[in-house]
Amino acid sequence: MDFKAILMGFGFALMWASAFTTTRMIVTAAPPLTALVIRFALSAVVAVALARAMGQSWRLSRAEWRTVIIFGLCQNALYLGLNWIAMQFIEASAAAIIASMMPLLVAFLGWIVYGERLRPIAIAGLIAGVIGVALIMGVRLQHGLSIPGLVLCLLAVVALTVATLAARGAGGSRNMMMIVGLQMAVGALALIGPAAVMEWGRPVEWSAQLVLAFAYTVIAPGIAATWLWFLLVNRIGAVRAATFHFLSPIFGVAIAAALLGERFGISDVIGALIVAAGILMVQLARIPAPDTQSSEAAARSMAGRD
């Protein structure tokens, strides 16, 4: 992994984690689902325009449309919808910690549902991740953490995990930016009804902070982070790129503390480091050993000569 890839990975993790802080700024001033519909609509327009400029097609395969629907509903409508509602009542750092459990849940459900073998380091990582999250949330519950908000965040990360498992292998599509744009459009369409029913007539407390937070959320986590992620995957592969998720709990807690003044106690520091270590162990366990990669490459080479 070269230095440029490392910088790209850090940049992606930083933007992804920062989204929780800007989301907290938005949902305390505006109806969450309505704001999310607007974000999805704007991001979809930009992403589809970029896709067309890159020569990508509207005509997707059945597998690509499956990815669009699953991610549009599970990741955008359910994961982000539930998260944005929950963050009216729960701190950004707590939401970031819970969301960072996704790689751990993917590994766990991959073992339970698909029978994927877990190496000892991955099992240790899963245990460490659970301990870290339990430490942080246990202390925060004593300080008044909203239980309904916590439950919504947990449901949200489960929805994201299901979307990730169901659409594995979609990263090789030539229409990836078009898929990103269309899944955002699906998310917007799915949330228009709930937003109208639940939030009709709710006021918006306009401020410069709200406008800047919304613009940042659309541009950075919504579009730039997605684009950077695909560049990183193309450069080092999806498994190695996913390793950078271990930075998310650390960045999420630190950014929320710096910009929102949220609690940043010793339990948060220790818990975030334990969760980060658990994620790193799980992701490192998924990277094939060099000998295995060399053997597979040699086998493909021999097959090509035959």
* pLDDT tens digits, 89-131: 999 999 999 988 888 888 888 888 778 788 889 899 999 999 9
Tokens of 85: 């509602």
**Predicted pLDDT at 298:** 36
CA 143 to mean position of chain CA atoms: 27
Calpha distance 266→268 (Å, rounded): 5
SS3 label, residue 255:
helix
- The pLDDT of residue 285 is 83
**pLDDT at residue 161, rounded to an integer:** 84
Predicted model pTM: 0.82
For residues 167, 170, 171, 174, the Cα torsion angle rounded to the nearest 10 degrees is: -150
Residue with tokens 């709930």: 194
For the chain, which residues score pLDDT lower than 70? 1, 166-173, 237-239, 288-306
pLDDT for res 209: 92
Q: Return d(Cα 220, Cα 91) in angstroms, integer.
A: 21
Q: Identify the pLDDT of residue 301.
A: 36
| 67, 174 contact by CB (below 8 A) | no
Nearest to 279 by CA among 25, 70, 150, 101: 101
